[in-house]
Amino acid sequence: MNIKGLLFLILLFAGYTFSQSYKENYFEISRNNFNFKLRDGVILDCTSFTPDAPGPNGGFPCIVYCHGYGKSKDDNLSNAISFAKSGFVTYTFSMRGQGNSGGVSNLISRTEAKDLMEFIDYIKSNELIDRNRIAISGSSQGGIIPLMAHAMGLEIQCLITDLISPDFASNWIDNGCVKMSLLWTLSYGDNNARYSDEVKNYRKWILSKKRDKWDSLAFYLPQNRDFSKLISKCTRPVYISNSFQDKFFNSNSIIKNIFKFPYGSKFYFGAIEGHGTVSTEDENKYHDKSMFEWIDYRLNKAEPEENNSCVICFSIYPVINSSWSFQRIYSQPTIFDKPNRIKLYFHPSEKVSETPYSGKTASFIFKNTVSDTSISMIESVNTEFNGESFWKKFTKTNIIFESEPLEWNYNALGIPKVHLVYKSDRKVCQYNFQIYEIHKDGTTKLISSINFTDRNSSGKTKADIEGDALGHIFTAGSKIRIILTNLDTRENDNFLRTNPYVLPVLIPSSNTIYVGGTEGSYLELPLKE
């Protein structure tokens, strides 16, 4: 939450929620730094803030703030102080293995979820608090852990989670790929995160050249982390906000499981800050305001300004200061049901069309050129996949496909897919499809990607591969550009810089992509009316 938005919430909160309970709504507060001992003896470093005033009948409402990975309770102190001054008892704490708390981190697991459940039980014993008016708020790790805990049985009245995925661990290694953001998360110094021995192994496995290390990563990483199968056990409505261009977790798992959440839950998809996403001041203000309304509604049973349970924020031209414009709509989760799917068939002439290719050429070659096989992943990571040494050993390959100008607007919402028919001369091969819009003014901007690494390729193969969910309005007169590349870097991306979205394959290969007829390779876009 940004500071301007926070001040807006404080003023609105003071003038609305408690106007009937208090004559003065801006409180002096007391701070308490304390330790909390968990079931296994690990000590959490905690802070609470309490208004210096008699509480309302039943006790003060309470907000617990959970921090993102590699951060600490200090990251949430300003929010905790501000809401305490508005009449809440607030808590913030550092998760195990992070900040000044003890223990080691298990990388956002059920262990940390159980920690939170213990901590909430402790908070409910505070006589100043109304145990029926407790909220938890957080982003990334700070949103995943509360939702996981709720799915595991934590009873909580109000839950706000941002930038999350119930299958976040699998999301980090979607389609056989390893996201750069996972490697970054596994590379913190001890001042940010102290890892368990198993988690330390994950980084070693990612950087290893041995193929069996991928099998270990794919087996162990999702265990005790993914929890989409538990969502139906949630008993209270939740508010979940995601951004379509999140570099950590895409929105796919939320979309696929959206009907498992309790009736009355609210969802926002589109453009909030974090994880390298694209956002605007208007969207951040809207999101701040909607979070306040959700807290007010869940804790005070006030009526929200809007009863819509699904808000979609589509990216759309024009691009202003290198950022998309956005168009917000209000709908229901059923908006994701059964989209029309347009198929764009690949042609060897480097174009895509709704008409399948019917010429004589049945395929084209896509090469992964690695001229020096001594190149290592750790070397490449340390140079951020850039510099003279890297480019001497690795060659970036792009094959660009473009559509004809679009005759009308296309509202694309949902999960794009590639039907890929291919054959490789190596066991391990990678295919990255970047989806762009080329505006009629010549501006070109990335919308989404579909990344796939086959780690046991054998003969001619067909694969249906899901990409990152998108919400975008293609404008009439624009073209759709698809770039097939062996290194998924993004131009002018201040978050990734020269690093790729997913780690590349550093093994040379020659890959045949088959086209022609309705069974050839094509990309599918989900379209809404």
- Token pair for residue 116? 């939170």
Q: Compute, in degrees rounded to 10, the torsion defined by CA atoms 294, 297, 303, 305.
A: -10
Q: Is the dihedral of CA 236, 237, 242, 244 positive or negative?
A: positive
Per-residue model confidence as pLDDT tens digits over 211-268: 889 999 999 999 999 999 999 999 999 999 999 999 999 999 999 999 999 989 999 9
Percent helix, percent strand, percent coil in the chain, to nearest 5: 25, 35, 40
- Token pair for residue 375? 């190149």
Tokens 């929010």 belong to residue: 79
The amino acid present at 185, given as its one-letter code, is T
Per-residue model confidence as pLDDT tens digits over 328-351: 999 999 999 988 999 999 999 899
pLDDT at 26: 83
Give SS3 for 148: helix
Which residue ranges of the chain lie beneath pLDDT 50? 1-24
77 burial level (CB within 10 Å; 0-12, 13-18, 19+): middle
Q: What is the DSSP string of 456-525?
A: S--SSEEEEEE---EEEEEPTT-EEEEEEESS---TT-TTTTTS-SBPPP-S-EEEEEE-SSTTS-EEEE
Domains and CATH numbers, the chain: 3-196+222-231+277-306 (3.40.50.1820), 340-528 (2.60.120.260)
pLDDT at 24: 42
> What is the C-alpha separation between 25 and 10, in angstroms, rounded?
10
Per-residue model confidence as pLDDT tens digits over 260-285: 999 899 999 989 889 999 888 899 99
pLDDT at 21: 35
Q: Is the dihedral of CA 279, 231, 451, 189 positive or negative?
A: positive
pLDDT at 25: 57
pLDDT at 500: 98
Q: For residue 516, give every residue at least 6 positions away whose Cβ sits within 8 Å of its Cβ, in sequence order, or none.
A: 356, 357, 358, 359, 361, 362
What is the DSSP-derived secondary structure letter of residue 278? Answer: -
Enclosing H/E stretch for 155: none
What is the DSSP-derived secondary structure letter of residue 422? Answer: E
pLDDT at 2: 36
